[in-house]
Structure 1
Amino acid sequence: MPAELIDLASDTKTRPTAAMRATMAAAEVGDERAHEDPTVNRLLVRCAELLGKEAAVFLPSGTMANEIALAVHCRPGEEVICDATSHIIGFEGGGPAALAGVMIQPLAGRRGIFDAVQLRAAIRTDRPYAPRQRLVVVEQTSNLGGGAVWPLPVLNEVASVAREVALSTHMDGARLLNACVASGFSAADYAHGFDSVWIDFSKGLGAPGGAVLAGTRAFCEEAFRLKLRWGGAMRQGGIIAAACEYALDHHIARLADDHANARRLAQGLAALPGIAIDVAEVETNLVYFDVAGTGRNAATFVRDLATRGVRMTEMGATRVRAVTHLDADAQAIDRALRILGGGRGARA
């Protein structure tokens, strides 16, 4: 594999910048399990305010944030309503069943986004022979929806329908700040109708790890209990929290660069023979395209492309995903397009 790999497999491939590393090295730390880490405590206050919630919990990963939220909101045997493409269904190792013991009712949204009409149609009268419906989950932005941004009015309508029938609501905010930068709405605007929400620092924000889950104080107390039960305590977590703070200070506005680079990539892909892509659907930093016209399946396309120095991800029989991030600038995107246009990556 070429030495200068252009890694577009995920925005989790980002590495801490030199300035972020220096901030981590200088972080004031303590035992975060005992609420004694000043850097973690400061991050939690800041994130709770950012998300418009009472309190927050620092966690190692976004997957743990989702799974804890399901277990706090639901009891075993109860039902979670979400889009069929949701991360909790396809990318968390069966966690909803294994950890919270919940049933999932998937909705067929468009690009990962369902609406209030679909939600209302899925709600049924409580009866003893069916699982009790308990929670509605949305994913902002929608990963398998191609980084689609849930429109704020749709989110508000979905949350309103849930409240009418006393369903709890949770937002998987892995790329929530991408949605904020793309739309101009604040994180608190998007999270307003939701009982719990989290943001990830290890994707576009470029930290080496960490997620913050927010909600009411009572919710967060139960979430913290599960964090300890599931081995999520990080002791001197301020080293990672300092990276998260640095990301909040320096890496939010620059998400717009990732979005611009994603559009740049999409436009270049659209000009290549055999590639099918709707450039108008590239709203944030995720770029999905179809390679059926190249005569290859996604696995072969991705494997051959990697040998030429560009890494992308197979996401279906002929569907491929590329993700832009702070370690892939405009020049890297242009190099990737030149490689793609060279023949082996783009054609049979």
Structure 2
Amino acid sequence: MIDLRSDTLTRPTPAMRAAIAAAEVGDDVYGEDPTVAALERRTAELLGKEAALFVPSGTMANQVALRCHTEPGDEILAEAAAHIVHVERGAPAALSGLTIRTIPSAAGVFDADDLRPFVRVPSRYMPAGIFPPTKLVCLENTHNFGGGTVWSVETMAAVARLAHEHGIKVHLDGARLWNAAVASGRREAEFAAHADSVSVCFSKGLGAPVGSALAGSAVFIERARRFRGMFGGGMRQAGILAAAALHALDHHRDRLAVDHARARAFAAGLAALSGIGIDPGTVQTNIVIFRVTAMPAAAFVERCWKQGLRMLPAGADKVRAVFHLDLPENAVEEALRIAAAALAAP
């Protein structure tokens, strides 16, 4: 089975399992787990922030950040296809009482000129009290539903500068920020420098079984600990999980380039198939989104599943495939063989 549904499917490597087994642990809710503390220090260092907080999931990291930056009744801005908008189960409304205004973009990336019309400027005709206060702009790098697209450091800086000029904070959903760094050749801290808070995942391309982190100022992270516990994220001997994440940071970041190369090779192979529409030049990281013109996307995905290739429909005519470390060496060749067979089947 070639499983390209998501990079969350990765399983711990033998070396990672050894690190888990050897982890020194304590009660993290009391601040006594040394491995969690080491992971939080390492993550904060990589992101150029004062502090970080280990949490069970990327959704929790994002939602704790939203709650820290806002009060119920506030408004946030996010790209129209953002993860926070579509696949976090309505959590901004349910957990923090927030409304979201969405900004349309091409492939998940908007710039300062795109943001400017969404920044409300009070006037005598529209005083500030009429609208919900806009407290936060959320960015996503890489952008999942945009096809793993990378926000440049310069674009992020311009957007953040405009937001900060209007007293609006910036949160970066950096679930795949590791991929953005490898693809661009820029350090993670260069991206994170323009956000007031940033979340990162260890359980996607890095291959850890569980865990994400939220980073920001020391004061912000102290507030975040309260909401992590409120949302049910206080863990006890969490060093067992943190050890896997530490191993991933030390051993799996650079190899993300392999996933990117495989994704580009897969896209190039797809472009040669009749019944598929894709520009291989748009593939920047480990996510490939392509159009199926020969049949409905769901029908194509079902045919592929029956032959041993798992992908996900991403709309009526689109399919998403994600490359990761837990794939065989011949994954690209086999995936292309099955895709061609699915298209050719009567």
TM-score by length of 2: 0.97
Amino acid of the structure 2 residue aligned with 1:137: C
Alignment correspondent of 1:222: 223
Aligned equivalents of 2:222, 2:339: Cα separation in 1: 50
Q: CA deviation at 1:238?
A: 0.3
Aligned equivalents of 2:77, 2:288: Cα separation in 1: 26
Q: CA deviation at 1:170?
A: 0.3
1:275 touches 1:346 (CA, 8 Å); kept in 2?
Answer: no
The CA deviation string for residues 288-331 of structure 1, in whole angstroms up to 9 with x for no partner, is 0011x21x211111112111100001110111000000012441
Amino acid of the structure 2 residue aligned with 1:299: A
Aligned equivalents of 2:302, 2:210: Cα separation in 1: 27
1:261 touches 1:330 (CA, 8 Å); kept in 2?
Answer: no
Shift in alpha-carbon separation, 1:347–1:140, aligned structure 2, 3 A: farther
The CA deviation string for residues 275-299 of structure 1, in whole angstroms up to 9 with x for no partner, is 00110010000000011x21x2111
Percent identity of equivalent pairs: 52
2:275 touches 2:343 (CA, 8 Å); kept in 1?
Answer: no
Alignment correspondent of 2:146: 145
Aligned partner of 1:16 among 12, 15, 22:
12
Alignment correspondent of 1:305: 304
Alignment correspondent of 1:107: 103
Alignment correspondent of 2:204: 203
1:272 touches 1:346 (CA, 8 Å); kept in 2?
Answer: no
1:17-166 equivalence runs, <5 A: 17-126=13-122, 127-166=128-167
The CA deviation string for residues 238-280 of structure 1, in whole angstroms up to 9 with x for no partner, is 0010000000111000000000000011011111110001100
Q: Secondary structure at the match of 2:130?
A: coil
Alignment of 1:174 onto 2:184: no
1:7 touches 1:310 (CA, 8 Å); kept in 2?
Answer: yes
Q: CA deviation at 1:206?
A: 0.1
Aligned equivalents of 2:344, 2:247: Cα separation in 1: 39
The CA deviation string for residues 9-46 of structure 1, in whole angstroms up to 9 with x for no partner, is 00001000011001101100000111100000001011
1:273 touches 1:346 (CA, 8 Å); kept in 2?
Answer: no
Q: Secondary structure at the match of 2:183?
A: helix
Q: Mark the runs of 5 or more structure 1 residues left unpaired by the alignment.
A: none
Shift in alpha-carbon separation, 1:347–1:95, aligned structure 2, 3 A: farther
Shift in alpha-carbon separation, 1:190–1:336, aligned structure 2, 3 A: same
Q: Secondary structure at the match of 2:105?
A: coil
Q: CA deviation at 1:346?
A: 5.7
Aligned equivalents of 1:238, 1:336: Cα separation in 2: 37
Q: Secondary structure at the match of 1:169?
A: strand
Moved over 4 A (4+): 345-348
Aligned equivalents of 1:222, 1:35: Cα separation in 2: 15
Q: CA deviation at 1:110?
A: 1.2
Aligned equivalents of 1:347, 1:114: Cα separation in 2: 40
Give aligned pairs, total.
341
Amino acid of the structure 1 residue aligned with 2:200: I
Q: CA deviation at 1:339?
A: 1.3
Q: CA deviation at 1:125?
A: 2.1
Aligned equivalents of 2:335, 2:230: Cα separation in 1: 44
Amino acid of the structure 2 residue aligned with 1:33: V
Aligned equivalents of 1:330, 1:11: Cα separation in 2: 16
1:273 touches 1:347 (CA, 8 Å); kept in 2?
Answer: no
Q: CA deviation at 1:222?
A: 1.2
Q: CA deviation at 1:67?
A: 0.6
Aligned equivalents of 2:84, 2:328: Cα separation in 1: 30
